[in-house]
């Protein structure tokens, strides 16, 4: 299959056009007053979202060179989401600005490697400045404020603040879609493993399909358990208590 080759300004223009098309669709969601975007789905109802990475993942452009530019910015949003879990729209807007002004300087005759080194130095300075300005979130009200801005809903923000306040900074908060009306908060102590039961006989609550064990005995075994016989001494000792 033959390849289409583009060089210099022609290639840069096509890549920047793709970057702009994706970034312009994402940037409208930026900040607490950001607007929503409606995504068409082949099956089911359209999706309404203000999540930058979710919007970016849905964009594919017809022109192959413009699509390459869009995919580069999509990778920025995806990696930001993987590392930070938020800030994907901000990362997309920053990437668009760096591409725009970077290409403009290259067209004017600037050395690309010199620009790269300058951007890296600017990033280091910006990170240091942000660290100095950053405020540590310590109380429940601050958590609720951040969550409310992110969710664009004070009710959801307050529930998330309650959840984080209960589990602490080292706890885990899981958000799941419910089939019932309203917002519910369930608090579970201990650890949670996303696995099923080895046997349905472990279930103690058939209605909720839960196994709740109060003060159970826990066996820590340093070798491979190949037969039940190796467990019999421990089981017999438990039965006597």
Q: Provide the pLDDT for residue 58.
A: 92
Q: Provide the pLDDT for residue 96.
A: 96
Judge whether 50 and 35 are in contact, CB under 8 Å. yes
Determine the Cα angle at 204 with ends 203 and 209, to 5°.
Answer: 55
Domain boundaries, the chain: 8-133, 140-240
Q: Chain-wide mean pLDDT for the chain?
A: 88
| Residue 65 burial (CB count, 10 A) | 18
Stronger pLDDT, 223 or 13, i.e. the higher one: 13
Average pLDDT rounded to a whole number, residues 172-192? 81
Average pLDDT rounded to a whole number, residues 199-223? 85
| Per-residue exposure over 37-46, b if at least 16 CB sit within 10 Å of its own CB, e if not | beeeeeeeee
Q: Provide the pLDDT for residue 27.
A: 94
Q: Provide the pLDDT for residue 10.
A: 86
Residue 160: pLDDT band with limits 50, 70, 90? very high
Say which residue the tokens 């103690």 belong to: 204
Q: Helix, strand, or coil here: 47? A: strand
Q: How far apart are CA 168 and CA 150, in angstroms?
A: 19
Q: How far apart are CA 75 and CA 98, in angstroms?
A: 15
pLDDT tens by residue, 101-111: 999 999 899 99
Look at residue 149 and tell me whether its pLDDT is greater than 90.
no
Average pLDDT rounded to a whole number, residues 119-145? 92
Cβ neighbours for 103, distance < 8 A, ≥ 6 positions apart: 12, 16
Q: Provide the pLDDT for residue 172.
A: 83
| Per-residue exposure over 142-158, b if at least 16 CB sit within 10 Å of its own CB, e if not | ebbbebbeebeeeebbb
Average pLDDT rounded to a whole number, residues 32-43? 87
Q: Of 1-15, 48-62, 80-94, give the lowest mean pLDDT range.
A: 1-15
Q: Provide the pLDDT for residue 175.
A: 83
Look at residue 208 and tell me whether its pLDDT is greater than 90.
no
Sign of the four-CA dihedral 89, 93, 95, 99:
positive
Q: How far apart are CA 166 and CA 177, in angstroms?
A: 21
* Beta bridge mates, 47: 39
In this prediction the pTM is 0.70
CATH 3.30.420.40 applies to domain 8-133: no
Stronger pLDDT, 225 or 121, i.e. the higher one: 121
Residue 237: pLDDT band with limits 50, 70, 90? confident
Residue 17: pLDDT band with limits 50, 70, 90? very high
Q: Provide the pLDDT for residue 179.
A: 79
Tokens of 171: 């706890």
Average pLDDT rounded to a whole number, residues 21-48? 89
Q: Provide the pLDDT for residue 182.
A: 83
| Residue 21 burial (CB count, 10 A) | 17
């Amino acid at each position: 299959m033959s390849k289409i080759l583009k060089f210099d300004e022609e290639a840069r223009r096509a890549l920047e056009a793709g970057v702009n098309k994706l970034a312009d669709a994402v940037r409208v969601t930026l900040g607490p007053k950001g607007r929503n975007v409606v995504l068409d789905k082949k099956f089911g109802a359209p999706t309404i979202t203000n999540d930058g990475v979710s919007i970016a993942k849905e964009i594919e452009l017809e022109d192959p060179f413009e699509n390459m530019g869009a995919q580069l910015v999509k990778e920025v949003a995806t990696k930001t989401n993987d590392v930070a879990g938020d800030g994907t729209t901000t990362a997309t807007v920053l990437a668009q600005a760096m591409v725009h002004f970077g290409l403009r300087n290259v067209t004017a005759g600037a050395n690309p490697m010199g620009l790269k080194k300058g951007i890296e130095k600017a990033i280091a300075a910006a990170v240091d400045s942000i660290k100095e300005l950053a405020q540590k979130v310590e109380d429940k009200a601050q958590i609720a404020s951040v969550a409310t801005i992110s969710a664009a809903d004070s009710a959801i923000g307050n529930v998330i603040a309650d959840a984080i306040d209960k589990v602490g900074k080292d706890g885990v908060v899981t958000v799941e879609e419910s089939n019932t009306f309203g917002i519910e908060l369930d608090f579970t102590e201990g650890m949670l493993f996303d696995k099923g039961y080895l046997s349905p006989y472990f279930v103690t609550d058939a209605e909720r399909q839960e196994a709740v064990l109060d003060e159970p005995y826990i066996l820590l075994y340093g070798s491979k358990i190949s037969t039940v016989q190796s467990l019999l001494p421990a089981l017999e000792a438990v039965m006597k208590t």
